[in-house]
Amino acid sequence: MARRVTAVSLACLLAAGLIPPLPPDAAAAATGCASPSRPARPGPATPEAGGHAHHDALRLGPEPRTPYPADVGRVLAELDKRLQGREPPARVTVPIWVHILTDGVSGASTASVNAQLDTLRAAYGGRLGGAATGVGFRLDGAQIVRHAGWFTDPMAHEEAMKTTLRKGGPETLNLYLAQLDGQVLGFSTYPYWYRDSPRLDGVVIDWRTLPGGTLANYNRGYTGVHEIGHWLGLFHTFENGCQSPGDGIADTSPAARPAKGCPGGAKDTCPQSGRDPVHNFMDYAHDRCMSEFTRGQGERMREMWVVYRDREPDAAASS
């Protein structure tokens, strides 16, 4: 953690073709948690009736409580109701805006941002060992944001930061790269929160978790993969432990508790059939042990997309 990366200049991003030219005021104005053994990838807050939850629940305790089976059931029931007569697309493209926070000294580089985008495409495309999800990603833009407070404490300044920087509608993934407190790797909103809190929609991750970053065990870019899974509607694979409906997806075996470190594939903590999905991106293993989504998770993300995020159907996902 001691080693820091100097933030790349806006001119470098423009020269590299990573971002389109920005208006002068854009650059100027720019200027779930866990135990120490597992930095946070916060999970979902308790969904309310109708499939919505309060974003503020992210801040209740070190990590939002695991939803009860009834909570997951409400989300799934609302999803099923809204899906009536609608066919999820076979493929979707997620437009991304990247907001690169910096204090003027530290922050993500052009190379690490590009590597993170490549990692997203590989993970969701099934090229790391799992199923292809049918979800692709397209970079629509990026901006460097020099603001020490937002960079060092994005949770405390979340509303101001996101209200100022956010681009697009429900279909646009706003990815904020900041520096979290060491016990938090990232946090995300959920698709069904957008209606009530559109300005707060998005994903925040620690820039040191990008590929080649300085956070040991969490520097292959899989924190971004994990948090974006939440943004697309996935629960943790260990949700509800061994109790039904678990995470609500048929082909992710139940697990009594999150994975720690890099457990072997023989881990089996529930009496139901199937070993714990310790290699799934929606568990808590070290990055080197993560490699897959399932077909069911891909289908769920596309269902959530058509119900909560799709503005204009797009069948040509980037790969």
Q: Which residues does the annotation mark as catalytic? A: 227
CB atoms within 10 A of CB 271: 8
How far is 75 from 233, CA to CA, in rounded Å? Answer: 10
Beta bridge partners of 187: 204
Would you say the C-alpha torsion 78, 197, 40, 108 has a positive or negative sign?
Answer: positive
101: phi then psi, degrees, rounded to nearest 5: -80, 145
Strands (E), the chain: 92-102, 135-146, 173-178, 186-188, 203-206
Contacts of 198 (CB under 8 A, 6+ apart): 169, 170
How far is 111 from 130, CA to CA, in rounded Å? Answer: 25
CA gyration radius, the chain: 18
- Edge to edge, the sheet with strand 92-102 lists 135-146, 92-102, 173-178, 203-206, 186-188
Length of the chain: 319
3: phi then psi, degrees, rounded to nearest 5: -75, 135
Judge residue 67's burial from the number of C-beta atoms within 10 Å of its C-beta, 0-12 exposed, 13-18 middle, 19 or more buried. buried
How far is 116 from 11, CA to CA, in rounded Å? Answer: 20
How far is 228 from 235, CA to CA, in rounded Å? Answer: 11
